[in-house]
Amino acid sequence: MRPSTPRLGRLAAGLLMGLSIIGLGLPALADPADPDPAVEEARRQERIAAASVQQIEEMLDQLQDKTAAAEQAAGVAAEAFNQAAVDLDLATEAADQARQAADQASQSLAKARGQLARAAIATSQNQSGLYPLKPLLNENGMEEALQEGTVLSLVGSAAERASARYAVAEQAAKAATILAGQTENLRQEKAAAQLVKAEAAQAAADEALAAQAAAEVEHTQLLAVLAEKKNTTVAAEQAAEQRRIDEANRRAEEERRRQQEEALRPPPPRPPSPGQPEPPTSGKGDPPPDNDQLPPPVDGGISSDEAAAAAVGWARAQIGKPYQWGATGPDSFDCSGLAQAAWLNGGGKAIPRVAAAQYAAATKVAYSDMRPGDLIFWGSNVYHVALYSGGGMMIEAPSSGLNVREIPIRWAGTQAWAGRF
């Protein structure tokens, strides 16, 4: 009997956690009062893909329950057949013993017939000769004579004893023959019926398992589609955000120039105070004030490849250690504690302790530009962080009851940007 397919400790567990967020719209970078059409369309496509994933996973749960029930039924039927086979073996052995008993009974019957005939001859030699005994000397005549009671009148007490032995041997032979035939036949029929049931139950289990396998293939394909839609949404949000940044910078630059022009413009003449001459004007204003309101430029990343690789290597060495809330090592970690310790001990750089503070302090980079050592964040309020380890993988301290691990990136619920130190 095959073991039942385990219910997914599956890749979609983390994904489903974020489906409700996706269905309501991820934390938007776009201004809700003026949504970006490209972002809205990307989110719509993502919601459609997420709904398909949720639907196939609900079907998978039903199919897994059906498979488990079918495999349980197959197991019960198989065990029933096994018991029937054991019973058949015992019945066959009993039938063999019964046949031996029947053979012995037949031999006893023949012996009893001979003893009875000899007793009858011995007791009747001095009476009326052998004629009355002739019916006893053939096989059928013996039974007829016993039924009519004629033998006892001919042979006396010795014949009575021989007659009794004959009757007992005859009954034993008949009983053994019946047992030998009926018992084995019944067991054979039962074993055959149980075999049919077991084969039918196993066929149902195989069919359920095949349906589940097909649904799991479709589930994997839909997850890939959802990941693609998620990337499209992230790209659209990043593009919209960049457009807003560019527009804000343009407006800030215009305001700066306006202020500079205003500062260079000579002030209007003031009327002189009574009794004082009007001050001369040079036609030049005061020097422009330092009024630079532009945000600082975004750094393209200050960490070296060697430091980032060392942080990833240090984090990878912690794989298998348990998650513990509030822990920063060395024997256990929470998510942000692992990120902080990896960059401090591996990359040689101190970063904030809490995931939200790490996101705020990090240089924002696009997912398409990520390199090992960059951090991936989840949630609008940033409740989780992991280290990108390359090749679509990440290292994280996941949650209570689990250990530090390296797994494929879980895209559902991620921030629009990765972080770099």
Residues above pLDDT 90, as percent of the chain = 30
Quote the CA–CA distance of 16 and 410 in Å, as a whole number.
10
pLDDT at 195 over 90: no
Residue 8: count of CB within 10 angstroms of its CB: 14
pLDDT at 302 over 80: no
**pLDDT for 310-324, tens place per residue?**
999 999 999 999 999
Q: In degrees rounded to 5, what are phi and psi of residue 36?
A: -80, 125
Question: With bands split at pLDDT 50, 70 and 90, how would you rate the model's confidence at 4?
Answer: very low
Burial profile 353-379: b = 16 or more Cβ within 10 angstroms, e = fewer: eebeebbeebbbbebeebbbbbbbbbb
pLDDT at 15 over 60: no
Question: With bands split at pLDDT 50, 70 and 90, how would you rate the model's confidence at 159?
Answer: low
In this prediction, residue 122 carries a pLDDT of: 64
pLDDT at 232 over 50: yes
Selected residue with higher pLDDT from 154 and 420: 420
Residue 299: count of CB within 10 angstroms of its CB: 9
∠ CA 297-299-302, nearest 5°, is: 155
In this prediction, residue 29 carries a pLDDT of: 43
Mean per-residue pLDDT, 298-315:
78
Question: With bands split at pLDDT 50, 70 and 90, how would you rate the model's confidence at 282?
Answer: very low
In terms of Cβ atoms closer than 10 Å to its own Cβ (0-12, 13-18, 19+), residue 37 is exposed
Mean per-residue pLDDT, 363-388:
95
Question: With bands split at pLDDT 50, 70 and 90, how would you rate the model's confidence at 185?
Answer: confident
pLDDT at 117 over 80: no
**pLDDT for 251-270, tens place per residue?**
877 876 776 677 666 666 55
In this prediction, residue 88 carries a pLDDT of: 81
In terms of Cβ atoms closer than 10 Å to its own Cβ (0-12, 13-18, 19+), residue 141 is middle
pLDDT at 376 over 90: yes
Selected residue with higher pLDDT from 70 and 178: 70
Q: Residues near 179 by Cβ (< 8 Å), separated by ≥ 6?
A: 94, 95, 98
Q: For the chain, what percentages of helix, strand and coil (3-state, to nearest 5) are there?
A: 65, 5, 30
Q: In degrees rounded to 5, what are phi and psi of residue 77?
A: -65, -40
Q: How far from 381 is each of 146, 272, 323, 335, 355, CA to CA, in Å?
A: 106, 60, 21, 15, 9
Mean per-residue pLDDT, 149-154:
53
Helix (H, G, I), strand (E, B) or coil at 405: strand
Helix (H) or strand (E) holding 375: strand 375-378
Helix (H, G, I), strand (E, B) or coil at 419: strand
Question: With bands split at pLDDT 50, 70 and 90, how would you rate the model's confidence at 361?
Answer: very high
Quote the CA–CA distance of 301 and 374 in Å, as a whole number.
10
Quote the CA–CA distance of 209 and 73 in Å, as a whole number.
13
**pLDDT for 67-101, tens place per residue?**
889 878 888 888 788 888 888 888 888 778 877 87
